[in-house]
Amino acid sequence: MLSEPKYKFLAAEVKKRSGLVLGPEKGYLIESRLAPLARAEGLSGPEAVVDAMMRGDQRLCAAASEALATHETFFFRDKTPFELFSEVMAPALRQARGGRALKIWCAAASTGQEPYSLAMLIRETSGLGASILATDMCAHVLEKAKAGLYSQFEVQRGLPIQRLVQHFEQSGDSWRVKPELREMIRFEPGNLLDDFSRYGAQDIIFCRNVLIYFDVEAKAKILNRLAALLPPDGYLVLGAAETVVGLTDSLKPVPGQRGLYVRNQPDTQIAPAAARAVA
């Protein structure tokens, strides 16, 4: 186990780089995540990694922050957000945009299952066009996402056989997303702690299951900056355990729709299709 000074240093460094809050109960996480990094670097263990970080090794500081980030994801995870996309968000925005392609941002996209799930829904919906931006702070998960190559176990998690056959090609023991889906998505490095105004206005933002790892101050700042990218009729999708309540007045929940938020301002109106869905 790390000594208290080393634990505090590691926690401060990781929070500065990624926003992740390492509480005192996270000792097991540090050991399990930093041990493989230590082996890869030829170091004796997690403590040696932290020692190198304390000596100013910036490369290891970045690598440790990436290693401690959580990348759990699978296709159509939690189902509800994707049902809301098909039944609420897409119909409302398609009508409001008059045929213009939607702009969608998947923040903290990990290994790509979320943006690819959305791309499948878009391809399956007649008359709906969209471009998807997918970002993550970790380079190695972005590389996997770009490749679009998944194991049998990964495609079995949340992906019906019909969609597997329709949208993937078998590659040995693995499955690769077909080119027409990969072309819909632009993968870029991106950290929610950094300035993301360069992405411009987004019709829909998926930012799920990541804010739970931030402290209250960071959550509030990120939510306010996300709200600034949404048009009055745009949507923000958060994870089931996340909320804007008590954190920002810039956003408000869509009544009756778990995890779905719109901008909170006098001219914000829930589009007709959404209003019917929540009635």
What is d(CA 58, CA 56) in angstroms, rounded to the nearest whole number?
A: 6
Would strands 130-136 and 149-151 be described as parallel, antiparallel, or unpaired?
unpaired
* Contact yes or no for 193/217 (Cβ under 8 A): no
DSSP 207-250: --SSGGGS-HHHHHHHHHHHHHHS-TT-EEE--TT---TTT-SS
- CB-side exposure of 113: number of CA atoms within 13 Å? 21
* Contact yes or no for 216/247 (Cβ under 8 A): yes
Give the tens place of pLDDT for each residue, 64-110.
888 888 788 999 999 999 999 999 999 999 989 887 999 999 999 99
pLDDT averaged over consecutive 10-residue blocks of the chain (279 residues)?
88 88 82 91 92 93 87 92 96 89 96 97 89 94 96 94 96 96 96 94 96 94 97 96 95 95 71 40
Q: Output the pLDDT for position 55.
A: 94
Q: Output the pLDDT for position 266.
A: 64
* Contact yes or no for 89/204 (Cβ under 8 A): yes
* Contact yes or no for 203/235 (Cβ under 8 A): yes
What is d(CA 238, CA 61) in angstroms, rounded to the nearest whole number?
A: 29
